[in-house]
Structure 1
């Protein structure tokens, strides 16, 4: 069967689109952002929060996620729609995740929705390096490596509703960890800038903290509140 020129061009275009699409789904990422959030700041907004069904989390930073990123500031997401979250694959990690990766969303729930979202959006984009169990285990191990709350407390920075210099918070973490960090703030109902999330960079194996190729740009006041929880 002979194809006219228009049909050939269309076939070439479709072939090129499919090849580029497949490549974009499978291409490697450059590093992870490991993000931890302060529950007091999460809850101290107009949206408030709900404690998980396992009870009120400890007054400690909790994991938000382990997010693959590219050096140009972009990031992959939802890379494998066929890779569903399977709680049975991480059954041995659940108790640790309830403690270190708690959900604060409403209505109160057991965290499965939160973990499912993190796996589908971010975890599936790391499958070239980590399977589902390895992905969640890696995040838990990273949290164990650097105790953010202890570092801040040792520097005299405590979750007491007081205000602290942003540079002092950053300096305390960077001096102890040896790597750069990014700090994200939120704003409470009174307009106070609060310590909300801390970003650290991790190599593609998900095991070692590294100097960040780039840090997300977030607006914070020069002096920010560290709210109680």
Structure 2
């Protein structure tokens, strides 16, 4: 009888230990350190005085360690005409709402914008491309995104593309948020877009990063598509 009780107790102990180990393994990913980035705002206005009836497409580009947990990753605005006043602005007021989580700030999200309109033949052609990093500090931010368009390599190709309605364009518009391969692209500045960001963060400081006053976070030319963003870890408080 004692041997049977001993074997039963050992079996119960082994099963309990296995269940505890399984529960711990399942809970480990949930306890992994992450921080959250909450972004709202709007694509407010655009300035393209040479054109009319424009719409914009947007998408967020981010690193491999980032995950979208809520909101829309891409979208398209309504088509609008420029205002009749002296400003000649295209007013979209198109809302942005997205939430990210990540384990490190490398690959900080960027907003990629592409503007399209119709040519004289009724074809949708690109009127501008641009990208900008989401601001790295909480609060409300107003950003002006300079836009540009790819150019034909010769006057003959430019005339041919105009006649055929096939203007130079990127196969993947998100390339403007990357540095690799852009040095061989011929572009021309054209227009700008005003974007409003409302940024909030959670658990960034608990991971050893400080983006407050006097922090070790630095940005260089964040309004340009090839912005480099550096963030240095500090000792958690």
TM-score scaled to structure 2, two decimals? 0.30
CA radius of gyration, larger in: 2
> Which has the larger helix fraction?
1
**Larger relative contact order (Cα-Cα within 8 Å, sequence gap ≥ 6):** 1
> Which has the larger strand fraction?
2
TM-score scaled to structure 1, two decimals? 0.31
